[in-house]
Structure 1
Amino acid sequence: MRLSVAAAVATFCAAILLHPLFEGGAWFWGSFGAVLTVLAASAISGRLSLPAWAAGLLSLAGLGIFLTAAFAGDKAWALVVPTRGSVAELAGLLGTGWADIQRFAAPVPGDNPGIALLTTGGVGIIAVAVDLLAARLRRAALAGLPMLALATVPATILVEPIAWWAFIIAALGFTGLLVADGRERVGHWGRAVLVRRTRAATMPAPHESADTRGLRLSGKRIGFAAIALAVTLPAFLPPLEPVSFFTFGVGGSGSGGKGNSIEIPNPIANLKGQLDLPEPRTVLTYTNNDDVPRYLRIYSLDIFTGEEFTMTKPTGTPENRVENGLLPPPPGLGGGVEQVSVVTTIQVSDDVRKMEFLPLPYPPREVRADGDWRADESTLMVFSTRDNATGLRYEVATSDPQPTAQQLRSAPRPQRGPESVESRYLRLPDDFPADIRELAHTTVEGADTDYDRAMKLQEFFTETGDFRYDLRTQGHSTSALRDFLLSSKVGYCEQFASSMAVMARAIGIPARVAIGYTGGKKAGDQWVVGTNDSHSWPELYFEGVGWLPFEPTPAGSAGQGSAQVPLYARPQPTPAATSTSPTPGSTARGEDLPPGQEAGRNPRELDDREARLGNTGLPPEESTPLIVNIGIGLAVLVLLLLVPAGVRLVTRSRRVRALSWKVTAPADELTARVVAGDHPSVAAAWAELDDVLYDYGMAREPSETPRRLAQRLAQQYEFDAGAAAALSSIAATVERALFARDPGEIGPLGKDLRLVRRALAATVTRGRRIRAALLPPSTLRRMRSMGEGLLDGFDRLEGIRLRRPAR
């Protein structure tokens, strides 16, 4: 029974690792009930002495009954007995839960019935496996493999590491299972005798079994030490640079600047999941120096597979760390286009999970963020393989291009070649439907320039094509694209952005799809961006200007109310319109700026010429000098090393205060069982003398009386008359307090103790005195005693019996 209980506790401790994946506690109680059910089935199996295979089947049957009662009781017979209807109900919930897990991002709603069923059933199955391996097959170490599956789920899904307290709980649960298994094995040698660890040696009676406490104590010390090292050691290790031996991480500094790349989630699925949330959640807030909202791009998708847009895995060399200064220049952006310099401060919400790419206005020129963030040279996406943006506050400087329609009309076609922009961003599958290609050419018929063609494509989706916004769409295949463009004409931002990008490629304009957030809504002095502001838009390439966003999603769409058309992409801009409507992805013209602020100049007094050339960045950061950081680190290390010395000083000062007290008691108030603790000055003097002896390596023998100790020290170290008399006085006072019926008046012992301490210090080397002051062995001995006391508590728990043993 002990192993069954230990297996259940270990499983539930490991299940606590799942807590960051859920909101609410429904999953917790469901998992708890499943583990208890498996424990009850294991107890029945043990009572009936069933074979291992039968015990496993009984546990699975019990788990099935629990799941039926908890999730399909209204369709079961007597609320617990499974029926055809209850099985169908559970199967439907499993399908719904699986679909919801694919749709939601962590943390998922814990009160969702389908998700709760999946979690409860999964934890229950792991509990069955752990119980079968540990309690039936007696393979407790192998039982750690099913529990490891519970740890890999959050480690795989979440960016941030497992919480230290959750790891400790899970590790303690597994250690307890190993201890219980070891005790069962040792118990086969004979009856284990639990003996409290005291200063006096205690031997078992001749008829009792050998004491195995040393074996158990060593195992526990190893287990607890391993857990402590696993939690604390990583905090003191410096971060290591990924090397090319591994297939994960960021690019190294090999030839061509290419290297390993980051594994990323599906951006489109993540976008759809955020838009499907029942209630919007705040993702981030931001402020900038011209108070104009901007699109914040996260991903840049450049590959069209024929079914959907995906992205080439970004690479970032160590030279492209954002901490190194300016990012690589924006592809295609020349010096003949007006640019407006903007500094934006972004604060990501603490509730955001798994954000490995920074939301940034395009094109970023400099980013200041804590952590190892790097820029992909071709797309300027900023990402990290070690850090995540949860709760991160960072700054980004951008130089937004402000092209005119005439500049875009006169932009030359991109140069052709295998490595050119055109070859990468014009690529379409060989089986690309001819009717969609024909639709693209028909839509832009009559347009003479790429800019005019892009405008006709945008107008096709927003005005002339009778398209409608709706989130209730499915599929990304070619048939779904054809249905969206030629038949249903109903979709959400991802369909509009992908379709315009595909049609742009079909007519010869390099195009890609961006995924991120719109500018959000103004709240006070900042802009607030929520999950409902998740958005996708196409970016088209113009030589000399670079990548520019367009907006094909119909205006005023539900859930996309903050989507706006850029100034250069508006069919008939008027002074009135440009003075009141902010632009996405680029800043406003001079007439849009607040009074007193010039176009192309920000409040940080950046040079106007540098602003137009894009050579702007964030203001210098006042960082702490390296020598100061080293000094702070050394000071912290010294303080940690001086903790035992500080504890020793506090203890000594407390005892010194007690040495000045006098204790006088009548004879009729004392008995023969008086202890030194009843006299504060005596107890303090004796404890301090004992610690001084231990610190100087002169520990008192357990069999020595106070008088015998005084005689030995005086003779062995040749004390002078004063020191010998002081030591004899302390010894006589201690004996009198311990054994005399009437100890009489006990005066202050401080002076005698000081004489003895000086005499003892004179007999040892200077190194011993320094060690006694900085790293006192007496304090370390107390710390070890506290640890042994904790292990004693586990011994007492092990001694608890659930039932009285048979006589």
Structure 2
Amino acid sequence: MRLSIAAAVATFCAAILLYPLFQGGFWFWGSLGAVLSVMCAGLVSGRLSLPAWAAALVSAGALWIYLTLAYASDKAWAWVVPTKGSVVELGKLLGTGWADIQRFAAPVPATEGIALLTAGGVGLIAIVVDLFAARLRRAALAGLPMLALATVPATILPDPISWPAFIIAALGFTGLLIADGRERIGHWGRAVLVRRTRVATSPVPGAERETADTRGLRLSGKRIGFAAIALAVLVPAALPAMEPVSFFTFGVGGRGPGKGNSISIPDPIAGLKGQLELPERRTVLSYTNSDDKPRYLRIYSLDTFDGEKFGMTEPKGAPDNKTENGPLPTPPGLSPATKVSNVTTRIQISEEIERLVFLPLPYPARQIRIDGDWRADVSTLMVFSTRDEAAGLGYDVLTTEPDVTSAQLDALPQARASASDPRYLKLPENLPSEIRDLALKETADAHTGYEAAVKLQEFFTKTGDFTYSLRTQGSGNSALKDFLLRSRAGYCEQFAASMALLARIVGIPSRVAIGYTGGTKVGDRWMVGTNDSHSWPELYFDGVGWLPFEPTPTGSLGQGSARVPAYTQPLPRSTSDSASPTPGATSTGDDSPLNPQNRENPRILDREATLADSGLPADDSMPLIGKLGIGAGVLLLILLIPAGIRVVTRSRRVRALSWKVSEPSDEVTAKVVAGSHPSVAAAWAELDDVLFDYGMARQPSETPRALARRLTERYEFDAESAASISAIASAVERALFARNVGELAPMRKDLRKVRQALAATVSRRRRVRAVLLPPSTLRRLRRMGERVLDGFDRLENIRLRRTAAQKGS
């Protein structure tokens, strides 16, 4: 019965580690009920002496009844007996809870499905722990399922497990091991080692009885347990922090800003139109860059189209892709042979921006210097945070932009489906055939993917007779069909989504970007306002990666600050024919990466060297080697604590006027000596520690004169050293036994001489150990720990004595 209770306590102590994953305490009471139900079932199984397999079934049944009562009582018979309806209800709640933990980031909200999933999981862990500990008598193995409870928060949360929660969990497991040890000792039978004690409950006053002395065994277990807990808490504090690898999925993986829920991703399209319709312009951000040219600043990348509108796949920000870790992932599709331009941009976000957890960035960003926990999605290079907001932030961005021309793009081969993620070519099954026919018609004369993209852009900006208007409904098959085939009036979102869709139809991977145009130059800064909100398509080309196109009409009749990229301007027919008249033809232009001269001496981009010379402001953060050095230094200081204590103790003793006995081996002798003459007591205590450090410990029954004779003869002291040890021994004997000690000569010189003589007789390794890890100090620290552990034994003895007294009465 004791083991079942200890197993339940240990399981719930380990379950406390889950607290950062949840909002509120709903999980606490549900998990507590599950553990208590399993404990009651274990107590019943132990009383009936059921086999292990039957005990596990009884515990599972008890857990099922509890979950039915707590979460599906209205569907059960008499609130507790499971029925078909209650089973279906529990199944639905489990499915809902699993979907919720995939959708929300920790700490998750208090939903019934999550509460059921948590209580059921903790209950199953409690069953396994009880099975190992109480039924199979493998208490050590019971720590494995408990470790699973610690693994979940450790791999999900960016913050380390709090040390109070860890200590509670460790103490629970230690208590389980102690309970298992006491159970085993109690079944040993007749004791071999005994101690004789006078017990008040003995039938004969003053009689002695034999009892098994198991204090040392219990104390050893406690020493190991408490020492392990102390090391587990203290040692990591001296080491550099390491980022956990997430094996579980909780939303994006982290704490959301403010509420700590799933990452705040508002509807980008609704927000875009809302900013464009504001009656007055409001400043969103400002920036400067190294080449003083305006650039689109992308916030969101929409990659999925469901037939109604473009949406965004939830970004994944691995710990390796934190902005503080250095360069971001390589831009997808960008070949090292492609010529790039390195530009440094300094961006300042307005304080008035709310709930912005994605950074406005020029594409493709390769390195960002910003405060906070910001991470990059590998496939899109969107940078987001689940803990911080961008309002008021200033940050530096280094971009490596492909420096391409129309001729180079026209010379590229058609993008292969395998070259990019298949989701960038995915089309809805219910796509109207008229839209598909329109895409094929407008690109019928195109010989390359690039030429098809240019023709689509021209269709929206020139040949298609489109107009810019905010008075439109935007999304859905009917609205899209009306925009492309009839009204041909809309704002940037319709233009971007329509061109991205038509590009997919003709085999060009595409996505929709939402952010801001380059803004307007005011003084030495580019100012970006709400009226600069914009959406544009990005098309993928092998070797170059993702490039923005501009199908939205620009100028006074369209998006005023939008700009058509130079590389999207169509080539003259003659140039186009000579460059690449058919798909797959190579360009003969000097700037083409396929030029023979460039093939012989291609420009291979050393990305790390380029980033190092890019002109970003100096990084004030400490490098990893510095953090490792600090961690090693702190660890070294901790290891040198015993040496420091030894130096302080020795210095205190050698000061003649303040010598005191710290803790010599022979306590009775030390008290007598200390009361007679403090200087003699200090000399004797220091000699005792020196002997212990050098492995020559004094025997408890050895007199000062016998000790002096043994050291002199065994280690062949010279005359001066022998006289010094004899002087110390004589002073100690006089302080102990003489009625009048009289005047004693200072013993500092004698003590130093004896220490030098003893050091000359031991190896260098022993001397180094005596300085760095003095055994005498470690002995003193060990005794302090034993006193603490003895306190727990005294509590147990008090309880046992009371029990014995009650039995006697």
Give the TM-score category using the shorter length.
0.5 to 0.7
Aligned amino acid, residue 17 of structure 2: L
Pairing partner for 1:451 from 457, 469, 474:
457
* Aligned-pair CA distance for 1:119: 1.5
Take 1:501 and 1:270, find their aligned partners in 2: how far apart are those partners? 36
Per the alignment, residue 539 of structure 2 pairs with 540
Q: Which moved more, 1:719-728 or 1:456-465?
A: 456-465
* Aligned-pair CA distance for 1:652: 1.4
CA deviations on 1:755-794 (whole Å, 9 max, x unpaired) are: 5445544655666544433442322333444555566567
Task: Determine whether 1:436 maps to 2:432.
Answer: yes
Per the alignment, residue 12 of structure 1 pairs with 12
Take 1:163 and 1:55, find their aligned partners in 2: how far apart are those partners? 35
Take 1:140 and 1:573, find their aligned partners in 2: how far apart are those partners? 76
Cα 1:335–1:341 change in 2 (3 A) is farther
The answer for unaligned runs of 5 or more in structure 2 is 196-207, 268-283, 444-453, 483-492, 518-524, 527-532, 567-609, 662-667
Aligned amino acid, residue 435 of structure 2: L
SS in 2 for 1:396: strand
Question: Within 5 A, what are the aligned runs for 1:246-325?
Answer: 273-275=262-264, 288-289=287-288, 295=297, 301=303
Task: Determine whether 1:617 maps to 2:614.
Answer: yes
Per the alignment, residue 153 of structure 1 pairs with 152
Take 2:776 and 2:218, find their aligned partners in 1: how far apart are those partners? 26
Question: Within 5 A, what are the aligned runs for 1:183-222?
Answer: 183-190=182-189, 207-209=210-212, 213=216, 217=220, 221=224
Pairing partner for 2:710 from 703, 712, 723:
712
Per the alignment, residue 115 of structure 1 pairs with 114
Task: Determine whether 1:694 maps to 2:692.
Answer: yes
SS in 1 for 2:688: helix
Per the alignment, residue 643 of structure 1 pairs with 641
Aligned amino acid, residue 274 of structure 1: I
* Aligned-pair CA distance for 1:416: 3.9
Take 1:678 and 1:459, find their aligned partners in 2: how far apart are those partners? 106
* Conserved 8 A contact 2:41-2:62: yes
* Conserved 8 A contact 1:696-1:772: yes
The answer for unaligned runs of 5 or more in structure 1 is 197-204, 241-247, 250-261, 279-284, 469-480, 488-494, 520-525, 528-533, 551-567, 587-612, 664-670
Question: Within 5 A, what are the aligned runs for 1:205-244?
Answer: 207-209=210-212, 213=216, 217=220, 221=224, 228=231, 232=235
Per the alignment, residue 573 of structure 1 pairs with 555
Per the alignment, residue 474 of structure 2 pairs with 467
Per the alignment, residue 701 of structure 2 pairs with 703
* Conserved 8 A contact 1:159-1:388: no
Take 2:76 and 2:784, find their aligned partners in 1: how far apart are those partners? 54
CA deviations on 1:613-661 (whole Å, 9 max, x unpaired) are: 9998243747899999998788667655543322211121233347546
CA RMSD after TM alignment: 7.0
* Aligned-pair CA distance for 1:701: 1.0
Cα 1:235–1:516 change in 2 (3 A) is farther
Take 1:501 and 1:142, find their aligned partners in 2: how far apart are those partners? 61
* Conserved 8 A contact 2:341-2:402: yes
* Aligned-pair CA distance for 1:293: 10
Q: Which moved more, 1:124-133 or 1:625-634?
A: 625-634
Cα 1:289–1:222 change in 2 (3 A) is same
Q: Which moved more, 1:750-759 or 1:268-277?
A: 268-277
* Conserved 8 A contact 2:693-2:774: yes
Q: Which moved more, 1:642-651 or 1:756-765?
A: 756-765
Aligned amino acid, residue 126 of structure 2: A
- Percent sequence identity over matched residues? 49
Cα 1:396–1:725 change in 2 (3 A) is same
Per the alignment, residue 142 of structure 2 pairs with 143
Pairing partner for 2:650 from 649, 652, 657:
652
Take 1:750 and 1:789, find their aligned partners in 2: how far apart are those partners? 33
SS in 2 for 1:126: helix
SS in 2 for 1:23: coil
Task: Determine whether 1:342 maps to 2:345.
Answer: yes
Take 1:755 and 1:622, find their aligned partners in 2: how far apart are those partners? 56
Per the alignment, residue 397 of structure 1 pairs with 398
CA deviations on 1:375-432 (whole Å, 9 max, x unpaired) are: 999x674999xx99999998431267999xxx99x99767444648999779756x96
Cα 1:436–1:120 change in 2 (3 A) is same
* Conserved 8 A contact 2:643-2:773: yes
CA deviations on 1:6-30 (whole Å, 9 max, x unpaired) are: 2123212332332332234432344
* Aligned-pair CA distance for 1:691: 0.6
Question: Within 5 A, what are the aligned runs for 1:376-525?
Answer: 381=381, 395-398=396-399, 415-417=412-414, 419=416, 428=425, 433=429, 435-439=431-435, 441=437, 449-453=455-459, 466-467=473-474, 500=498, 503-508=501-506, 510-513=508-511
TM-score (norm. length: structure 2): 0.60
Aligned amino acid, residue 6 of structure 1: A
Take 1:497 and 1:790, find their aligned partners in 2: how far apart are those partners? 75
Aligned amino acid, residue 619 of structure 1: L
* Conserved 8 A contact 1:297-1:362: no
Take 1:335 and 1:56, find their aligned partners in 2: how far apart are those partners? 64
Take 1:120 and 1:104, find their aligned partners in 2: how far apart are those partners? 18
* Aligned-pair CA distance for 1:135: 1.3
Cα 1:772–1:298 change in 2 (3 A) is farther
Take 2:690 and 2:180, find their aligned partners in 1: how far apart are those partners? 43
* Aligned-pair CA distance for 1:572: 4.2
Per the alignment, residue 772 of structure 1 pairs with 770
Take 1:86 and 1:497, find their aligned partners in 2: how far apart are those partners? 52
Take 2:254 and 2:225, find their aligned partners in 1: how far apart are those partners? 46
* Aligned-pair CA distance for 1:317: 13
Aligned amino acid, residue 648 of structure 1: R
Which structure: larger Rg? 2
Take 2:255 and 2:234, find their aligned partners in 1: how far apart are those partners? 32
Per the alignment, residue 475 of structure 1 pairs with none
* Aligned-pair CA distance for 1:189: 1.4
TM-score (norm. length: structure 1): 0.60
* Aligned-pair CA distance for 1:147: 2.5
* Conserved 8 A contact 2:654-2:748: yes
Take 2:500 and 2:105, find their aligned partners in 1: how far apart are those partners? 28
Take 1:497 and 1:63, find their aligned partners in 2: how far apart are those partners? 57
Aligned amino acid, residue 617 of structure 1: S
CA deviations on 1:306-327 (whole Å, 9 max, x unpaired) are: 9998799999999x99858996
* Aligned-pair CA distance for 1:692: 1.3
SS in 2 for 1:138: coil
SS in 2 for 1:702: coil
Take 1:768 and 1:63, find their aligned partners in 2: how far apart are those partners? 60
Aligned amino acid, residue 189 of structure 2: G
* Conserved 8 A contact 1:726-1:755: yes
* Aligned-pair CA distance for 1:738: 5.9
CA deviations on 1:426-454 (whole Å, 9 max, x unpaired) are: 9756x963643423555999899321446
SS in 2 for 1:698: coil
Aligned amino acid, residue 127 of structure 1: A
* Conserved 8 A contact 2:537-2:548: yes
Cα 1:136–1:774 change in 2 (3 A) is closer
Per the alignment, residue 556 of structure 1 pairs with none
SS in 2 for 1:108: coil
